[in-house]
């Protein structure tokens, strides 16, 4: 069958512009089954064949607090009716890279094949920003393709990179994403839920992240037995006691530290933007 690529990004990251550039006029719009969030699907042409493109709702996070977030993560996991996409294009606003990468690292936690589309490169260049895309790609463990969805710059290269990713099957989360404590607790939760996660077709590592955050949708989907539930709660309590804030804040802080370091290493802002941020 034909391969499927899902577009995921923050609101206003240029998703619709990219979707239109990739699919031309062959788009169809409907609702996700059972929900009122809009779903768009179309086809992009590549080398005589077609790739199915799904445009997902704009999101900042993959928590279970909004229908947009649940639709997005269910689609990527393949637990929705649309079938599991073979790869994800994560579209990122290059002029707001640090904020946009918060969604990126949550997508990396899903360990699906992915390409980062660094959009608004025309604006970033005007601002005098320089972004070391090779370094960014190495830090994140996924290809990074600078584009401008508005002008069409590098869209073909993006589609080819995404097509290559569809043949990979998975992406490995970067080693440095979590501090040692977070990694240790995640490993211990993962061992408790390996079986139900595999049975539900949910990546064990991602399940552990969500359970540590206190995600009740994932907890009820996996429905671990009473002993495992109690053990997970004990681990979450141990984690919460290890630093300031609650479990969700601690894991978010770990992500933010990784993002700050990555941006520090790969991005140099132009003179105008440096003045803005002091
Ligand atoms: P969405 O909310 O992610 O679907 O974002 P849209 O595709 O609606 O884009 C938001 C705004 O950014 C629109 O005004 C687009 O024309 C503009 N835009 C999108 N991509 C680019 C780009 O690469 N460069 C510039 N300069 N503007 C862009
Ligand atoms: Mg849109
Ligand atoms: K605490």
Q: Which of 22-26, 263-267, 269-273 has the highest mean pLDDT?
A: 263-267
Backbone dihedral angles phi then psi of residue 86, each to the nearest 5 degrees: -80, -20
Tokens encoding 49? 């064949």
Ligand 1 site residues (CB inside 6 A) read 9, 11-17, 58, 119-120, 122-123, 148-150
- Are the C-beta atoms of 255 and 97 separated by less than 8 Å? no
Tokens encoding 164? 């290559």
- The Cα 261–Cα 213 span in angstroms is 23
- Are the C-beta atoms of 86 and 3 separated by less than 8 Å? yes
- The Cα 84–Cα 214 span in angstroms is 25
Q: Residue of the nearest CA to atom 9 in ligand 1?
A: 14
Q: Nearest ligand, CA of residue 154?
A: 1
Q: Residue of the nearest CA to atom 22 in ligand 1?
A: 120
Q: Hey, which of 14, 27, 90 would you mutate to test ligand 1's pocket, going by the most ligand atoms within 8 Å of its Cβ?
A: 14
Residue percentage of the chain with pLDDT more than 90: 84
Q: Which protein residues have a CB closer than 5 Å to ligand 3 (ion)?
A: 240
Handedness of CA 107, 259, 163, 145 (dihedral sign): positive
- Are the C-beta atoms of 56 and 18 separated by less than 8 Å? no
- The Cα 274–Cα 252 span in angstroms is 25
| H or E segment to which residue 137 belongs | helix 133-140
For the residues 61-85, what does the mean pLDDT come to? 91
Task: Indicate the average pLDDT of the chain.
Answer: 93
For the residues 74-99, what does the mean pLDDT come to? 93
Using a 10 angstrom Cβ sphere, with 0-12 exposed, 13-18 middle and 19 or more buried, the burial of residue 167 is exposed
* ipTM confidence score: 0.98
Is 190 a known ligand-binding residue?
A: no
Backbone dihedral angles phi then psi of residue 218, each to the nearest 5 degrees: -65, -40
| H or E segment to which residue 117 belongs | strand 114-119
Q: How far is the CA of 14 from the centre of ligand 1 (A)?
A: 4
State residue 28's pLDDT score: 64
Q: Hey, which of 40, 125, 150 would you mutate to test ligand 1's pocket, going by the most ligand atoms within 8 Å of its Cβ?
A: 150
Tokens encoding 28? 């169809």
Instruction: Place 198 in a pLDDT band, splitting at 50, 70 and 90.
Output: very high
Q: Residue of the nearest CA to atom 24 in ligand 1?
A: 120
Handedness of CA 272, 130, 178, 108 (dihedral sign): positive
Q: Residue of the nearest CA to atom 19 in ligand 1?
A: 14
pLDDT digits (tens, 9 = 90+) for 202-251: 999 999 999 999 999 999 999 999 999 999 999 999 999 999 999 999 99
The atom number, within ligand 1, closest to the CA of 55 reads 4
Is 96 a known ligand-binding residue?
A: no
- Are the C-beta atoms of 106 and 72 separated by less than 8 Å? no
CA Rg, the chain, in Å?
A: 19
The SS3 call for residue 109 is coil
State residue 277's pLDDT score: 59
- Are the C-beta atoms of 115 and 161 separated by less than 8 Å? yes
Is 14 a known ligand-binding residue?
A: yes
């Amino acid at each position: 069958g034909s391969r499927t690529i899902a577009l995921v990004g923050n609101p206003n990251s240029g998703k619709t512009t990219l979707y239109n550039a990739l699919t031309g006029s062959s788009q169809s719009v409907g609702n996700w089954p059972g929900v009122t969030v809009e779903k768009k699907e179309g086809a992009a042409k590549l080398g005589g064949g077609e790739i199915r493109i799904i445009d997902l709702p704009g999101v900042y996070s993959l928590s279970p607090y909004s229908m947009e977030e649940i639709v997005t993560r269910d689609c990527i996991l393949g637990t929705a009716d649309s079938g599991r996409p073979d790869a994800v294009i994560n579209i990122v606003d290059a002029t707001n890279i640090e904020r946009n990468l918060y969604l990126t690292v949550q997508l990396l936690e899903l360990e699906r094949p992915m390409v980062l589309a660094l959009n608004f490169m025309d604006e970033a260049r005007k601002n005098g920003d320089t972004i070391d895309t090779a370094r960014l790609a190495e830090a994140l463990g996924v290809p990074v393709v600078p584009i401008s969805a508005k002008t069409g710059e590098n869209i073909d290269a993006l589609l080819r990179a995404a097509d290559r990713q569809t043949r990979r099957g998975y992406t490995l989360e970067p080693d440095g994403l979590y501090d040692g404590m977070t990694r240790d607790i995640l490993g211990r939760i993962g061992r408790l839920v390996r079986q139900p996660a595999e049975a539900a077709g949910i990546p064990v590592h991602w399940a552990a992240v969500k359970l540590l955050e206190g995600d009740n949708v994932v907890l009820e989907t996996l429905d671990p037995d009473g002993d495992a539930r109690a053990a997970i709660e004990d681990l979450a309590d141990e984690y919460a006691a290890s630093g300031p804030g609650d479990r969700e804040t601690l894991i978010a802080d770990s992500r933010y530290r990784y993002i700050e370091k990555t941006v520090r290493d790969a991005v140099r802002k132009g003179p105008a933007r440096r003045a803005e941020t002091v």
